[in-house]
Amino acid sequence: MNPNLPVGGSALNLQLGARAALPKDLTQLGLTLSYARFADEYRGTEKLDGDVTLEAWITQLSLRHYFGEGLALDLALPAGTINFEPGHGEPTRRMSGFGDLELGASYDFAAIWGAGGYQPSLTLRLGMGLPTGRQGTLGEEAADGHSHDQGSVPPSILAIGYGAYSGSAELRLTQFVSRRIGFSPSVSLREPFGPSESGLTMGGTYLMGLDALVVPAPWLVVSAGGLLQTRRHSKEEPEGRILNSGGSALFATLSANVRASERVAFGVGGRLPVHTDVQGQQVSESYTLLGTLSLSFGGSEEDEHAHGDEHDDEHGDEHGDEHAEGDERAHGGERAHGGEHAHGGEHALGGERAHGGAAAPGKGDVSDAAKGGQSFELAKVIPPGKVTVIDFWADWCHPCKHIDARLRQLAAEHPDLAVRRVEVPDFDAPVATQHLPGVTALPQLWVYDRAGKRRAVVTSLEALERELGGFWSKAR
């Protein structure tokens, strides 16, 4: 679609939670509605008085599936209506149709170094646009059917898409520096590979953005920042470069995204130009408003299943092994960001992990030492005469769920093993500042011998297995 008309951008990515664990087996359906008004006329950086007004209503439907390990595929189809009022008593002209269908693939490099805590999320997305977009022209038409007098209206805003094959790329970093504050710089480009059926080749678009992210509540993400947009000249066959096309603009952006439930998120946002510099004379963007709605399927159901396992476990259900299997599946649901992204180093924006409560009778000595980031007294949670593992975990910690399931299995097999679970929602929580100073990643596991002396601090399941195996071999 027309790059002048944003239809989501980072807004949909934020709805998944910029600080959540990487989604897996999650499908997200997104709907974005935008309204853009073009009523400011410029010659270079000089603002002129003009009667030309253009309004664009764009609707975009998008579908994205997260396969896990940072990989996602998506497709998007915009459609819209553009109303052009030339002024001077001339009638309003209208153009409606579909934009370019776009297919894309993205990869979050946090899958390599680990998501969670204050680890960065670096997402690369590549896309290809198909020539389903529609373009319009104004002015007197020549014998060949092409318009050679665009006037002050650039061809880029008289289009819903390039109407040609195109490629796009975006690189976005999301980094949280505290529990509630982060930043997200991004660069992107979109370039057509050739002319449309009408012989018009629109100029490529290049974007650089920087957003500040604020999380005042687990269900709310607010983003404010700036966006620099640059577009090259457009060309029309056979005349060549169109003088009134191309230029750059600096925008101020603002958005708010709300996680209404595990499945539903919505947001509102907009952008306002603070500096405009166009080639020739053009009518330029005055402001853009947008709203987003996101529905998620798949992973969320697994989270709900895991919560059901927790409920059974707290009431003494005899199916403890099924609970452990539920833990294996208890992640990958929708989070509150972003991001993308996803929107995107990340920690959870809310929701309770699908574990908790003491294990069912006869299934091992497993219980919570602290939840919700509250601290605890070490001496009170280590039972005498048992090997004890203090398991520091978080909802955003992907390896933690595998370790938890294995610890429950070991506790069921070895009556002299005690597991004490400690929830660390973020590293500003009291439990982290008191017991994990300087630690910025999970898992963290403390291993104590039967005399209550700490013997090891490990960060992986393999290392934990080795340490615990030593105790059982000594016992034999």
Sequence-ordered list of residues with C-beta below 8 angstroms from that of 60, at least 6 positions apart, any chain: 1, 7, 8, 30, 31, 32, 34, 76, 77, 78, 79, 99
Residue 336 lies in a domain: no
pLDDT score at 5 = 29
130 plus 21 within the same structural domain: yes
**Are residues 273 and 134 both part of a single domain?**
yes
Which of 263, 283, 298 is at the close of a domain?
298
DSSP strand pairing (220-231 vs 181-192): unpaired
| Same structural domain, 94 and 179 | yes
> In this predicted structure, what is the pLDDT of residue 292?
95
Q: Which tokens belong to 388?
A: 């004890």
| 145 lies in some domain | yes
Let me know whether 28 and 164 are in one domain. Answer: yes
The pLDDT assigned to 136 comes to 75
The answer as to whether 305 is a domain residue is no
pLDDT of residue 383: 92
Same domain, 267 and 364: no
* Whether residue 160 is found in the same domain as residue 278: yes
CA distance 256 to 14: 9
Whether omega before 216 lies within 30 degrees of 0, making that bond cis, reads: no
**174 within domain boundaries:** yes
Provide the mean pLDDT of the chain: 79
Q: What is the pLDDT of residue 212?
A: 95
pLDDT beneath 50, residues of the chain: 1-20, 139-150, 300-362
The pLDDT of residue 299 is 66
131 and 253 both lie in a single domain: yes
Q: How many structural domains does the chain have?
A: 2
- Is 143 contained in some domain? yes
In whole angstroms, what is the distance from residue 331 CA to residue 353 CA? 8
- State the pLDDT at residue 111: 83
Q: What is the pLDDT of residue 266?
A: 93
Could you list the residue range(s) of the whole structural domain that residue 368 is in?
355-475
Q: Could you write out the DSSP letters of every residue in 140-198?
A: -B-TTS-B---TTS-GGGSEES-SS-EEEEEEEEEEESSSSEEEEEEEEEEEESS--TT
Q: Where residue 369 sits, what CATH number does that domain have?
A: 3.40.30.10
What integer pLDDT is reported at residue 115 of this predicted model?
67
Question: Residue 170 to residues 190, 206, 431: CA-CA distances in angstroms?
Answer: 9, 10, 38
Q: Which of 282, 298, 314 is the last residue of a domain?
A: 298
Cβ–Cβ < 8 Å for 424, 392: yes
pLDDT at 71: 92
Same domain for 400 and 283, yes or no, is: no
CA 176/CA 211 separation, integer angstroms: 12
In this structure, is residue 337 part of a structural domain? Answer: no
Query: Among the three residues 298, 331, 346, which one is the final residue of a domain in this structure?
Result: 298
On whether residue 132 sits in a domain, the answer given is yes
pLDDT in tens, 338-385: 333 333 333 332 333 333 333 344 478 999 999 998 999 988 999 999
Asked if 294 and 374 sit in the same domain, the reply is no
Rounded distance between C-alpha atoms, residue 425 and residue 423, angstroms:
6
Asked if residue 63 and residue 135 are part of one domain, the reply reads yes
Residue 194 sits in the same domain as residue 263: yes
Does some domain include residue 318?
A: no
Do 67 and 204 lie in one domain? The reply is yes
Residue 49 belongs to domain with CATH number: 2.40.128.130
